[in-house]
């Protein structure tokens, strides 16, 4: 029997994945068209908490599976994401390598080989998640306070090796770990927001003002663009923003008009994997044919296409021969080889 999905969790994932698509869409359109629009301001506002919130939510349900045997655990937490990473790496690589336009085959193959150790493009989140899962299982006997302190310390250390995995691990692991270790407190926060909506709205207003101040205030120190990017400040802004996402997601969880957000969250893996291609295509069409002159409107249109495009592709392929795009085939499973793995309707997953 399938466990019922928790509405606010899907809402929170929906918020985060839409913000990710918006960031890539707005920045890409702005760079191509040479300007900025309203979505650029939203992207800047969300920068302190967009990825921290995503990783915190990804760790929420880890306690349900972390004590399973290693074979099952690796199947669900490593092989699962590795399958989608490699599959969509190849798909993105075919478009970006330039082979179809007569590009250098050796250079393209080097690019593909490098992507095995250096995450490719927008897929770095998928690459990093299984590393977080495995690291957490290996460290699960370490005292809670020590783990959080160590993770917070490496976040504030600002490791810059030039390689995505160590740099992003240092910057993001504390949020994933907090989602796992502090899950009861996170669910208590959501329940408190549900029971006290007026206080929750006031808290969101206060947070929004504080986040805007941190996100838009220039840093007085070289090497940091805003106050929100400073050591310690980034940690506080990341957790505060993640809490705000959870509170907002809870407040709208019972409102029918927000059902689309819940659906996006339930399909966050689909959107994250597939948004690159429709986003890039929409941007190219708009720019090449000069269909929209406003950077703001163009960014909004590309964002909508980036979100809706993968959902349409999923609906078109979920029952056919191309269902492998978003559903891992049984031949790529270590356990229960005949089991179905539809991420939209089964267990509440990390992404």
Band of pLDDT at residue 194, cut at 50, 70 and 90 = very high
- Give residue-wise pLDDT tens across range 7-23: 999 999 999 999 999 99
pLDDT beyond 70 at 107:
yes
- Give residue-wise pLDDT tens across range 22-71: 999 999 999 999 999 999 999 999 999 999 999 999 999 999 999 999 99
Residues 304 and 38: their CA atoms lie apart, in Å, by 15
Could you give the percent of the chain with pLDDT greater than 90?
A: 90
Q: Residue 296: its pLDDT value, please?
A: 97
In the numeric block, the tokens 């336009």 are attached to: 101
Q: Which residue has the higher pLDDT, 37 or 339?
A: 37
User: What average pLDDT does the structure give for the chain?
Assistant: 94
What is the dihedral angle through the alpha carbons of 80, 85, 86, 88, rounded to the nearest 10 degrees? 120
- Give residue-wise pLDDT tens across range 267-321: 999 999 999 999 999 999 999 999 999 999 999 999 999 999 999 999 999 999 9
Q: Which whole number is the average pLDDT over 181-185?
A: 97
From residue 220, how far is each of 43, 225, 232 by CA, in Å?
22, 9, 15
Q: Which whole number is the average pLDDT over 202-230?
A: 97
pLDDT beyond 50 at 345:
no
Q: Residue 98: its pLDDT value, please?
A: 79
Its pTM surpasses 0.85? yes
Q: Residue 3: its pLDDT value, please?
A: 65
Q: Residue 343: its pLDDT value, please?
A: 45
Band of pLDDT at residue 4, cut at 50, 70 and 90 = confident
- Rounded to 5 degrees, φ, ψ at 218 are -60, 140
Q: At what angle do helices 197-216 and 233-251 cross, to 10 degrees?
A: 140
Q: Which whole number is the average pLDDT over 220-234?
A: 97
Q: Residue 348: its pLDDT value, please?
A: 73
Q: Residue 92: its pLDDT value, please?
A: 95
């Amino acid at each position: 029997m399938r466990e019922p999905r928790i509405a606010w969790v899907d809402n929170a994932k929906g918020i985060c994945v839409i913000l990710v698509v918006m960031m890539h869409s707005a920045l890409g359109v702005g760079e191509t068209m040479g300007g900025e629009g309203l979505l650029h301001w939203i992207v800047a506002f969300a920068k302190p908490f967009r990825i921290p919130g995503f990783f915190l939510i990804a760790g929420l349900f880890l306690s349900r599976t972390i004590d399973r045997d290693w074979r099952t655990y690796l199947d669900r937490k490593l092989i699962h994401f590795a399958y989608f990473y490699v599959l969509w790496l190849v798909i993105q690589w075919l478009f970006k390598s330039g082979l179809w336009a007569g590009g250098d085959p050796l250079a393209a193959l080097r690019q593909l080989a490098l992507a095995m150790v250096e995450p490719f493009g927008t897929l770095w989140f998928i690459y990093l998640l299984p590393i977080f899962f495995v690291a957490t299982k290996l460290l699960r006997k370490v005292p809670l306070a020590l783990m959080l302190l160590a993770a917070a310390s490496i976040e504030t250390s600002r490791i810059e090796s030039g390689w995505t995995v160590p740099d992003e691990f240092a910057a993001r692991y504390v949020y994933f770990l907090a989602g796992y270790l502090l899950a009861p407190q996170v669910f208590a926060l959501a329940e408190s927001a549900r029971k006290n909506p007026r206080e929750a709205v006031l808290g969101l207003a206060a947070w929004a003002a504080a986040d805007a101040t941190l996100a838009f205030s220039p840093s007085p120190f070289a090497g940091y663009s805003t106050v929100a990017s400073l050591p310690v400040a980034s940690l506080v802004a990341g957790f505060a923003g993640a809490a705000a996402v959870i509170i907002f997601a809870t407040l709208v969880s019972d409102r029918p008009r927000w059902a689309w957000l819940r659906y996006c969250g339930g399909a966050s893996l689909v959107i994250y994997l597939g948004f690159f291609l429709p986003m890039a295509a929409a941007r190219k069409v708009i720019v090449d044919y000069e269909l929209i002159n406003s950077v703001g409107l163009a960014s909004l249109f590309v964002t909508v296409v980036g979100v809706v495009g993968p959902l349409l592709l999923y609906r078109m392929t979920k029952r056919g021969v191309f269902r492998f795009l978003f559903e891992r085939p049984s031949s790529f499973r270590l356990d229960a080889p005949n089991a179905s793995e539809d991420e939209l309707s089964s267990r509440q997953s990390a992404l």
